[in-house]
Structure 1
Amino acid sequence: MPYDRWHKSRPIDGESTCKEHGKVPTRDHGTGKRWQARWRNREDVQQTELFRTEVEARRHEIKMRSGVDDGSYINPRAGEVRVGELALTWLKGHEHKNPRTYRRHKERILLHVVPTAVGKMRVKDVNASSLLDWLHDRRRLLESSTLRLVFDNLRAVFDLAVDDSLIHKNPCLAKSVQDAKPKRGGGGRANLTLAWEDTERIRAELPDRYKALVDCGRGLGLRQGEIFGLSPEDIDWAHPDGAMVHVQRQVVHDGSFLVYDLPKGGDDEDPKDRWVELTDDVAIPLREHMEKYPPVKVTRPWGSKGGDPVTVRLIFYTREKTAIQSNWFNSYRWKPALASAGLIKPLEPDAKGRRWEKSRDVMMHALRHLYASMMINGGVDVYTLADRLGHADPAFTLRKYVHRVVGAGSKVRIAVRSAYTRAA
């Protein structure tokens, strides 16, 4: 039963009563909230909270005691910590991971969580409305893709709050917030953005030393950084199943600095390396490239700018015999080839800077999509394809990388006709 703070529960005979309630008053009479809810937590320590009415106090007592009984109890005072403080705690737990990834997490937390209104709120006070206000405020500053990453970090912070029993549920998972948050790409495009004929035109327009990059993209399904990090030592020409390529590194940016690193998503426990079949159709132009441009040794740090130096013989490199910087290559080699092939508009002669037409769908990554669709069209199962692409989830491969194939309608007819023929 709730405790009445304003009146004595065991009055002494003869004590005067208050006019308002007809009960013997305590020293707290008329000050603060009258009713005190009492319950014992899971450690059997008494807890209290004040309410204005007896009904509110009784309801809270029942809720707290039920939570203790069924294991869902959350200390009402546990969520007093500020969101920004908890975000910094969450950040500390990621210091041991990839340094480049950690720096990106840190930048998002320090710029877009800690100093904001939500960052200054107590964890237990954050609700769907406050998150909707936060999303509205951040949309004025961030692109949707960046805001989605910041939101994912904030959601992880509230996951920590749930794990620490500071709150019952993550407010980021509220339906209204999920409806308003920036959406990931809704799956791959129905049709390929680069057809085989397009890649032939691009290959023809690229400088000679970069033509074989196209073959590694559409014929091996490698990411751009994996192609830039490819070494002749990664190729097993004598593999019993035929020539194979061991994808085990990429060239990536640590800020403006180029480093070697494991393939995307790799770490010390799971490096995410993989083997991909090397057919003669790709091997021949690759051999011709290496004969004309012999691989050179390039030394870069491993993992981050301050990482240990590692020397790799690179198949693809610049005229200065350095690793290829992706931003430079995209702007000064790939996009000019796209323009010459008629796939994007050429630069305006008097334009300031190199402001190309938006061309994300026809960048080098589109070669991986072409590879994936060719594999499915050729009868390769999605599990094998996911392995060759370096995807942990085959469903992701189907959703993002497989596209409608020209002439597939006739294949549907043939498949149905064959089934009926066999059954006849």
Structure 2
Amino acid sequence: MSVDRLPSGRFRARLTINGGKHAATFATRQEAEQWEILTRAQAITGSLPARVTVGEYAGRWLLGYRTAPRNTRVFHETNVKHIVAALGPFAIARVTPSDITRLVNTLIDSKTPALAERVYRTASALFASAAADGLCPAGSPVRSKRHRPRRQRSEHAVLERAQARQVLLQLAGWQRDTALIQLGLGARYGEIAGLTPYDIDLGRGLVHIRRRYSAHGNTVRATKDHRHRTLDIPQILRSPLERLVREAGEPPPLPELADR
């Protein structure tokens, strides 16, 4: 064992046990000597974390997904390739949050933010499993939400007022009414399609968004609690809504809502 004083004033302790090299830095020489005693004791009792590399552990970890659904298995197998390419030779116990941040930033710069986000999710599961197996004494290095990349939304073209008027002039009937409501309320198409006469309070000038229609699954689903909202009806929309409610007649029974 050797203890060296670094230029920063800290002490670096290095120890070789059964051909495996271990090192750590401490504020005082006494802490470094205590670490040496503890490390030797762990080696004798067999509790010293094995020097398993990220590449070795990733191979074993993927075996646990053999019976998983194919899309889950392929998802992790694809992402693990990027993790192993960057951190494969590293001892899994020595990977730090800075290494994860560097991996994520590299993928954002060289690939896409979407890929970086997927790799981050796989890395989180991989290192959480390693920490549970006792291979990461300091815990999983993927433990801070600030590392998670945010997927950048693509820009969407927005109609100017004059363009919106030109579009409305070319519409008629229910299409024009729907366009007016969407422009006036700022609600999504699925939210407008999920409206019933029960949701429109013309007397108070309010629209309650409680459910949404999914064209993909052809289903009506309850809107999540944190997305329930009440919108004010602009004066320009009163006439279309009054006519739509009047033409709808007696409100039909509310459709059964799918929770999942």
TM-score, normalising length: structure 2: 0.55
Q: CA RMSD in A?
A: 5.1
Q: Does residue 241 of structure 2 align to residue 252 of structure 1?
A: no
1:113 match:
76
CA deviation after TM superposition for structure 1 residue 154, in Å: 3.7
8 Å CA contact retained: 1:162, 1:169:
no
Distance 1:35 1:147, change over 3 A: closer
**Identical aligned pairs, as a percentage?**
14
* Residue type at the aligned position of 2:211: R
Task: State the distance in 2 between where 1:51 and 1:85 align.
Answer: 23
Distance 1:114 1:193, change over 3 A: same
8 Å CA contact retained: 2:220, 2:258:
yes
Distance 1:124 1:207, change over 3 A: farther
* Residue type at the aligned position of 2:196: S
Gaps of at least 5 residues in structure 2 are 3-14, 39-47
8 Å CA contact retained: 2:117, 2:151:
no
- What is the 5 A alignment of 1:64-83? 65=35, 76-77=49-50, 81-82=57-58
Which structure has the larger Rg?
1
8 Å CA contact retained: 2:207, 2:231:
yes
* Residue type at the aligned position of 1:82: A
Task: State the distance in 1 between where 2:93 and 2:82 align.
Answer: 11
Deviation string 1:185-220 (CA, Å, 9 cap, x unpaired) is 49x89xx82222222222222352221222222222
- What is the 5 A alignment of 1:353-368? none
Distance 1:233 1:168, change over 3 A: same
8 Å CA contact retained: 2:131, 2:140:
no
CA deviation after TM superposition for structure 1 residue 35, in Å: 2.7
2:32 match:
62
Task: State the distance in 2 between where 1:248 and 1:133 align.
Answer: 42
CA deviation after TM superposition for structure 1 residue 156, in Å: 5.0
SS of 1:275's equivalent? strand
8 Å CA contact retained: 2:207, 2:232:
yes
Distance 1:156 1:244, change over 3 A: farther
The number of residue pairs the alignment matches comes to 213
Distance 1:157 1:293, change over 3 A: same
Q: Does residue 165 of structure 2 align to residue 200 of structure 1?
A: yes
TM-score, normalising length: structure 1: 0.37
2:182 match:
217
CA deviation after TM superposition for structure 1 residue 223, in Å: 1.6
Deviation string 1:58-88 (CA, Å, 9 cap, x unpaired) is 769939949x9xxxxxx844987538948x8
* Residue type at the aligned position of 1:157: A
Distance 1:257 1:51, change over 3 A: same
Task: State the distance in 1 between where 2:171 and 2:50 align.
Answer: 64
8 Å CA contact retained: 1:158, 1:172:
no
SS of 1:113's equivalent? helix
Gaps of at least 5 residues in structure 1 are 3-33, 37-48, 69-74, 93-102, 305-424
8 Å CA contact retained: 2:114, 2:151:
no
CA deviation after TM superposition for structure 1 residue 286, in Å: 1.7
1:71 match:
none
